[in-house]
A and B are shown apart, each in its own frame.
Chain A
Amino acid sequence: MPSAEQVYASMRAAIENYDSDAAVAAAKEAASAGLDPTKAIEMGFAGPIREVGEAFHRMDIFLPQLVMAADAMKAGVAVLEAAIKAGGGHLEKKGVVIIGTVEGDIHDIGKTVVAAMLQANGYEVHDLGVEVPAPRFIQAAEEVGAHIIGMSALLSTTMLFQRDVLELMRNKGLDKKYFTIVGGAPVTQAWADQIGASAYARGAVEAVRLLEERRKEWAR
């Protein structure tokens, strides 16, 4: 039976090598060794995934590595979350995020970077993809019990669909329930203020930073 430190080392290596299969195997090893799953996530996955995020920001690594590391973390955490549920507990999550590119807009990469960076910083991220109709953002947030809704728009002509999501939320009386964050090349703080979004983020690093800084506004 490997020691706890050996299991944590395997978990760290899986993230550092961007290896989902290895992350799942190491997580299973942690569960079968009877390690505390919450502690295992912190000791095995959290450190290296944060380092991956920082390396991406320094441009020591690039988007494929960031996505693969985030996927590996997600796969490993799913195994440990199942173990926690089997034991009658539930995994405390930092925050649950719905994210997508708005209707009429097929641009994917900016949103993918933000999703991966949030995952790398411990958020549970549900990526709805591109061309997401306004009602779908709200429906998905209700389904998964999200705290945060992130909306990307890469075109000045599709920004108005960010407005539509927020207007729909107000019409449903849900506008106070979620922290809403908008971003994308043509989006500005002035636009976020105009449409009543909770926040504007210029990029992935800023999104992570402002969610940390404004935790009290969305944590519940």
Chain B
Amino acid sequence: MNLKEALKRGETGPLLDANDFLMQRVAMNVVKLQKKYDVKWDGKTLVNLDDDLADRCWAAGKELLLTAGLYGANSRRVIEFSPAEVEHALHFAPHRLAMGQGKDAVKIHHRNVEDPRRPFIFAGPFNANTHQDMFVKLNEAFAQERIIDCLFLPGYLNTLDGLMIRPGSGLSSRAAVLYGQWAREAVRRAGRPGMPICGHAVMALNEMACTNEEWGLRQSDPRAMVLLSELQVDDVTLARLAYYAAYGCPQYVAFTPLVGGYGGGPDGTAIVAVAAFIGSALLGGEILHLGPQHIKYKMQTNQHSLFLGSLAQQAVNRNSHLITTTSHTTAGRPGSTQYAYEFAALELAVVPSGSNVSGPRPAEPLGFNNVSPLMARLFAEVAHAAAEMTRAQAAPIVAALYEKYKDKISLEVAPKGLPFEELYDVDTLTPRPEHQAVYDEVKAELVRLGVPLGS
């Protein structure tokens, strides 16, 4: 199985209505597989400690992919796979991948459960709406954090020169070009000209216009694509996969299984997540990003998503050598302590489960530039510390952190936080004292709780 064959099946596979795919092939099969493999959440566990459950979840997810396939959302045809093709893809998937250039080149690798090696850090604006006037400064402030391995999704330009950008328009091509130029300028200003930039310029095929070896995103930069929930892929993503595969970019494929959706609860949705991990690898994905969504809370640090993240990551990382990461979106926003407690809780759940990390970002950013490079530094420090912990050591800390914010996970009541330009002195690109104080307070509390962050 390769991308060429997957694209062919996307044009020739069984024709099916989208609702039939979701109800018959996904929802019904998840219910059957949950029973067959006894994949069940006990209603309280936040970090899975049961290896056998993780292995059953892996078996169920693999069987789900074989019975459901992936749905071509535009062609309405199902891309089906045989067991041999799945095994072949898993065997030949990379376990290590280089990105970036020169002295700024870095490697990401597969992590085992309770792997003491440090996780790879994707951090940056993470597609929060970013104003063109602040784009370079904001990304420079992220890139100057040496602990960040890869500048992550340098920000959505949804307006340009006062106009909203229509997908597919000439304006969006111009925005994609500027995105590439400005992101490259930011890492150059930070003294890391070869730092990898994980990019996703605009929401249409012409996002590829940000690609240029001199001024834009390069062959050595991972390119991000997102599957649709559940187990669906659209033409824009397939077209980008085809182009970036030919161009030689590392392929960063994300998927967003929805708790409360067609997979049911966190246990059934973990099965869907495993199927999406494997399906993404079959499409040529090399860095596989789990971004669990929640039908009610719309963020990723609720109790369901903590459990799902830990279980699905353990399932995949115990049973394959795939390179995985987990995104971190929160209810609280930068400038609040809750923001950091939330992303720390999820990191402590998924890093000992074998994940690398991507993020952080508020699930509902308010206005432009609602992200913080200083919080990305803390995010990276917590991820490194979490690699020194077992799941059993991390679990009570996750529970303690969850207690701190569980009553404020509704996006309406969560702290609204502040934009970058109010958290930072934008001339010196240093955090304002009040923002630094939040960092110091949270770090001290995490140390008190037992996270090995040092002083």
Stretch of A89-97, A104-112, A173-181 at the chain-chain interface? A104-112
Q: Does A160 belong to the interface (CB within 8 Å)?
A: yes
Contact of A160 with B18 at beta-carbon distance under 8 Å, contacts A106-B228, A202-B411 already known: no
Q: Does B402 belong to the interface (CB within 8 Å)?
A: no
Contact of A158 with B167 at beta-carbon distance under 8 Å, contacts A62-B261, A67-B23, A106-B73 already known: yes
Q: Does B158 belong to the interface (CB within 8 Å)?
A: yes
Q: Does B234 belong to the interface (CB within 8 Å)?
A: yes
Task: Give the contacts of A155-201 with B (CB-CB under 8 A).
Answer: 155-160, 163, 185-186, 188
Interface pair B202/A157, CB less than 8 Å apart:
yes
Q: A63 is contacted by which of B164, B167, B234, B262 (Cβ under 8 Å)?
A: B262
Q: Does B178 belong to the interface (CB within 8 Å)?
A: no
Closest A residue to B229 using CB positions: A109
Q: Does B412 belong to the interface (CB within 8 Å)?
A: yes
B84 to chain A, nearest CB (A): 31
Interface pair B265/A108, CB less than 8 Å apart:
no
Interface pair B295/A157, CB less than 8 Å apart:
no
Q: B172 is contacted by which of A106, A156, A157 (Cβ under 8 Å)?
A: A157
Interface pair A155/B295, CB less than 8 Å apart:
no
Interface pair A63/B203, CB less than 8 Å apart:
no
Q: Does A64 belong to the interface (CB within 8 Å)?
A: yes
B44 to chain A, nearest CB (A): 15
Interface pair B265/A59, CB less than 8 Å apart:
yes
Contact of A59 with B260 at beta-carbon distance under 8 Å, contacts A107-B228, A157-B172 already known: yes
**Which residues of chain B are within 8 angstroms of A13 by Cβ–Cβ distance?**
none
Q: A157 is contacted by which of B73, B167, B366 (Cβ under 8 Å)?
A: B167
Interface pair A64/B228, CB less than 8 Å apart:
no
**Chain B residue total in the interface (Cβ 8 A):** 36
Bound-complex Cα distance A163 to B298 (A): 24
Interface pair A202/B260, CB less than 8 Å apart:
no
Interface pair B264/A64, CB less than 8 Å apart:
yes
Interface pair B158/A63, CB less than 8 Å apart:
no
Interface pair B129/A156, CB less than 8 Å apart:
yes
Interface pair B261/A109, CB less than 8 Å apart:
yes
**Which residues of chain A are within 8 angstroms of B260 by Cβ–Cβ distance?**
59, 62-63
Interface pair B168/A104, CB less than 8 Å apart:
yes
Q: Does A113 belong to the interface (CB within 8 Å)?
A: yes
Contact of A202 with B412 at beta-carbon distance under 8 Å, contacts A106-B73, A185-B298 already known: yes
Bound-complex Cα distance A59 to B261 (A): 10
**Which residues of chain A are within 8 angstroms of B261 by Cβ–Cβ distance?**
62-63, 109
Q: Does B225 belong to the interface (CB within 8 Å)?
A: no
A59 to chain B, nearest CB (A): 6
Contact of A59 with B296 at beta-carbon distance under 8 Å, contacts A64-B262, A158-B203 already known: yes
B31 to chain A, nearest CB (A): 8
Bound-complex Cα distance A57 to B156 (A): 32
Interface contact tally, CB-CB below 8 A: 75
Bound-complex Cα distance A63 to B22 (A): 11
**Chain A residue total in the interface (Cβ 8 A):** 25
Q: Does B385 belong to the interface (CB within 8 Å)?
A: no
Q: B295 is contacted by which of A104, A107, A108, A113 (Cβ under 8 Å)?
A: A113
Bound-complex Cα distance A104 to B364 (A): 21
Bound-complex Cα distance A109 to B167 (A): 21
Task: Give the contacts of B276-323 with A (CB-CB under 8 A).
Answer: 295-296, 298
Mark A73-114 against chain B: 1 for CB-CB distance below 8 A, else 0.
Answer: 000000000000000000000000000000010111100010
A65 to chain B, nearest CB (A): 9
B266 to chain A, nearest CB (A): 10
Contact of A160 with B234 at beta-carbon distance under 8 Å, contacts A106-B228, A109-B261 already known: no
Closest B residue to A67 using CB positions: B23
Interface pair B165/A64, CB less than 8 Å apart:
no
A181 to chain B, nearest CB (A): 17
Mark A197-213 against chain B: 1 for CB-CB distance below 8 A, else 0.
Answer: 00000110000000000
A145 to chain B, nearest CB (A): 26
Mark A50-73 against chain B: 1 for CB-CB distance below 8 A, else 0.
Answer: 000000010100111001100000
**Which residues of chain B are within 8 angstroms of A160 by Cβ–Cβ distance?**
164-166
B435 to chain A, nearest CB (A): 24
**Which residues of chain A are within 8 angstroms of B129 by Cβ–Cβ distance?**
156, 186
Bound-complex Cα distance A155 to B234 (A): 15
Q: Does B258 belong to the interface (CB within 8 Å)?
A: yes
Q: Does B238 belong to the interface (CB within 8 Å)?
A: no
Q: A62 is contacted by which of B164, B202, B265, B298 (Cβ under 8 Å)?
A: B265
Task: Give the contacts of A108-166 with B (CB-CB under 8 A).
Answer: 108-109, 113, 155-160, 163
A18 to chain B, nearest CB (A): 11
Bound-complex Cα distance A106 to B229 (A): 11
A99 to chain B, nearest CB (A): 15
Q: Does B136 belong to the interface (CB within 8 Å)?
A: no
**Which residues of chain A are within 8 angstroms of B172 by Cβ–Cβ distance?**
157
Q: B18 is contacted by which of A62, A108, A155, A185 (Cβ under 8 Å)?
A: A108
Q: Does B27 belong to the interface (CB within 8 Å)?
A: yes
Bound-complex Cα distance A108 to B364 (A): 19
**Which residues of chain A are within 8 angstroms of B74 by Cβ–Cβ distance?**
106
Bound-complex Cα distance A98 to B1 (A): 42
**Which residues of chain A are within 8 angstroms of B412 by Cβ–Cβ distance?**
202
Interface pair A157/B23, CB less than 8 Å apart:
no
Q: B27 is contacted by which of A64, A107, A186 (Cβ under 8 Å)?
A: A64
**Which residues of chain B are within 8 angstroms of A67 by Cβ–Cβ distance?**
23
17 contacts between A and B (CB under 8 A): A59-B265, A59-B296, A62-B268, A64-B27, A67-B23, A109-B261, A109-B295, A156-B156, A157-B158, A157-B166, A157-B167, A157-B203, A158-B203, A159-B158, A160-B166, A186-B129, A188-B366
CB-CB nearest 8 A-B residue pairs? A64-B27, A160-B164, A156-B158, A157-B203, A62-B264, A104-B167, A63-B261, A157-B167
Could you list 9 further interchain pairs (A-B, Cβ under 8 angstroms) beyond the known A63-B261, A159-B164?
Answer: A63-B258, A64-B22, A64-B264, A67-B23, A104-B204, A109-B262, A155-B203, A157-B204, A202-B412
**Residues in chain B within 8 A of chain A (CB atoms):** 18, 22-23, 27, 73-74, 129, 156, 158, 164-168, 172, 202-204, 228-229, 234, 258, 260-265, 268, 295-296, 298, 364, 366, 411-412
